[in-house]
A and B are shown apart, each in its own frame.
Chain A
Amino acid sequence: MTTQQKPILPERVFDFDALVHEDRVHRSLYTDPAIFDLEMTRIFGAVWVYLAHESQVPQPNDFVRARLGRRPLIVVRDSNGVLRALYNRCTHRGATVCRQDRGSAKAFQCPYHGWTYLNTGKLSGVPWPEGYSCDFSRPEFNLMQVPRVESYRGLIFATLNADAPGLIDYLGPVRRPLDEWLDRHPGGALEVREANRLKFNGNWKLLYDNSADGYHVVFSHRSLLMMENRFQEGDGKGMSYYKDSPDTGPVKLYSFPNAHHFKDKRDAIPKRPGALWAIEGLHPGMEHYEAALRRDFPDRADAFLDLASSEPVNINVFPNLHILGNHIQVSEPLSVTETATTWYGTAVVDPDGELGDALGPVNALRMRTQEQFPTFGEVDDLANFEQIQAGLAAEEDAWIYMHRGLGLPERYSAAGDGTTIGPATDEVFMRDYMRVYRRLMQTEPNIAPTRDVS
């Protein structure tokens, strides 16, 4: 059953051609609650949105809560093993039926009046049904659910839009860096292991604007770069490769169709085992575990240490997934001026035992290498995002520029698949994603949640 949901109240009409220009966007995109509300439908209701990683729901009946825009969801692997995204909203009166962050459950019972749903979303019972004249076997009383839920190699996405392209088509060429990132792990497998959980008082797009921004690094992260290199003669650790003249260096920016983008820093690192480890910042246990791995695995230690090191990529899947280093970073819009950003840590799981006894040390290091950036780097970005939001209170100073590189075609090359390749500090990815944003905001998606349990 796919019936389009029509808004009951009239919406304010916005002229997005006037708000989004080639070189700049209007401040109201970041400050107007009505635009934010519209985004929850026209962006988050229209495209594939990242919800969770399969390792968070490994077994049948496992669930984890998530949001699609602001819609409260239960991502569940139902009793038959099918991944579903159920609305966490009792059909009866609207209360959430699941209040645990995660767990395992064959059914969800609403604590308010006891309506009970199987983890497929099907209503299984209501107390004292003789007080009703309706037929509860009809699907209209099941939990609402997102009609299309798919996993791309463990990454679970969902879309409400019946007319959205397939997930593979939606991802398009961003699949290449995603695949390469996954394939760097033995068996292509990883597990989510808790998270650094942050939020900031700013619009969600501030985070997406920043996600492939190579321009801010040496300024916003100046304290981190100084800290990482405090024992060095000259720079060498962390993101030092942004210094001097980054636009003529090996870091490349890929702007993909559908508003995805990718900042590839891998070519800044020599192509030899151990090179990634060599630029890691200094973390607890480094010297201990490195010595142990070199003693126990003299031929493979460098490769193992690289697996514990931060992969120098920023892969951004519109609108809310960011693969950074070894993190799965997810952003969630909470209001026009509040955004949550959760940095899920990932562990190597080594399904075929390729690492042997090195697995424990690799993960012990990898947990520490992942904590550093959220703790000492992201906090400074988020402070700057908050200060953008504060600056945008200036109504007359209405424009936000994203024109770095515009009018300089020699900075870019094109791949045949709609990809633009540019230098490290370029803002072409912002302009490209804002073009997609404008089109989406001008289009009513075919939002088609279902209550059919098939």
Chain B
Amino acid sequence: MGAAAERDPSTSSYYVGDAFYRELVEAFTDWDRDELAVADPARRDAARAFLEREARLLDRKRYEDWLALFAPECAYWVPGTPERGDPRREITVAFHDRRQLEDRVYRLRTGYAWSQSPESRTVRSVSNVELFATDDAGIVMARSNFHIAELLDGDLRHWAGWAGHRLQTAADGYSILAKQINLIDCDRNVRNPSLTL
């Protein structure tokens, strides 16, 4: 097995270290500044279409297609406080790397994840999409608000918040380097948070 295969992020986690965390925290600090906003309607529309498709894939539970939206070395981060903090120092609602995102999907597919058995139904809305430039011409940040209506065990309930997507631009669209999901109730006790956000 070659070095590249040994470091397959689906089976190992060599890329999540101090440098990765530090850059991640920095990338998600003070990034949605007016002077960085991307005004080009075509680019904003492309970002909006990407986020809407992501929402649809999750609503349709096309998890493998959803995973394909992420870069091989990626992060899915649901902070546990509105201040977000440093995941090295504190507990988050969820912090997944590539392997753990695949774990999440694997668990849902076992048929024995009782918190999602029967699976909840969701309808997601994405709105207020804004795009922000970064120091790296190949990377943009998207900010969007989300609302998820979820039918769980016969009860209709709601999740709300905003997401930050760190997106690598490519000829054929985007791949997600990191997705930060900021729930408005991130520091409150919530019932059955087994939904994929």
Contact = CB atoms under 8 A, between A and B. Distances in A.
Given A198-B190, A226-B107, A383-B192, A284 B18 contact: no
A341 B192 CA distance: 11
Interface residues of A, number: 51
Nearest to A230: B106
B41 to A, nearest CB: 37
A267 to B, nearest CB: 28
Contacts of A220: 114
Interface in B79-107: 80-81, 85, 87-97, 99-100, 103-104, 106-107
B75 to A, nearest CB: 8
Interface string A225-254: 011001100000000000000000000000
Contact of B114 (A286, A292, A341, A383): A383
Q: How large is the interface on B (under 10, 10 to 19, 20 to 34, 35 or more residues)?
A: 35 or more
Interface string A200-241: 110000000000000000001011101100110000000000
B29 interface: no
A380 B13 contact: no
Nearest to B79: A194
Given A193-B90, A347-B89, A363-B88, A201 B191 contact: yes
Nearest to A327: B91
A371 B95 contact: yes
Interface in A304-322: none
Contacts of B88: 360, 363-364, 367
Given A231-B11, A363-B88, A376 B80 contact: no
A289 interface: yes
A199 interface: yes
B136 to A, nearest CB: 23
B138 interface: no
Contact of A360 (B18, B20, B81, B190): B18
A285 interface: yes
A187 B151 CA distance: 48
A197 interface: yes
Contacts of A201: 191
A326 to B, nearest CB: 10
A370 interface: yes
B65 interface: no
Nearest to B17: A288
B150 to A, nearest CB: 14
A287 interface: yes
A288 B107 contact: no
Contact of B191 (A199, A284, A361, A375): A199
Given A285-B16, A364-B18, A368-B95, A223 B80 contact: no
B127 interface: no
A304 to B, nearest CB: 15
Given A284-B97, A347-B89, A367-B89, A380 B187 contact: no
Interface of A: 101, 193-201, 220, 222-224, 226-227, 230-231, 282-289, 291-292, 340-345, 347, 360-361, 363-364, 367-368, 370-371, 375-376, 379-380, 382-384, 386
Given A230-B103, A284-B100, A380-B115, 19 more contacts: A193-B90, A194-B85, A223-B113, A227-B107, A282-B99, A284-B75, A285-B13, A286-B12, A288-B15, A363-B88, A367-B90, A371-B92, A371-B94, A375-B93, A379-B192, A380-B113, A380-B114, A383-B114, A386-B153
19 contacts: A194-B92, A195-B80, A196-B91, A196-B93, A197-B188, A197-B190, A198-B189, A201-B191, A223-B114, A226-B107, A226-B110, A282-B100, A283-B100, A284-B100, A345-B91, A360-B88, A364-B88, A367-B91, A370-B91
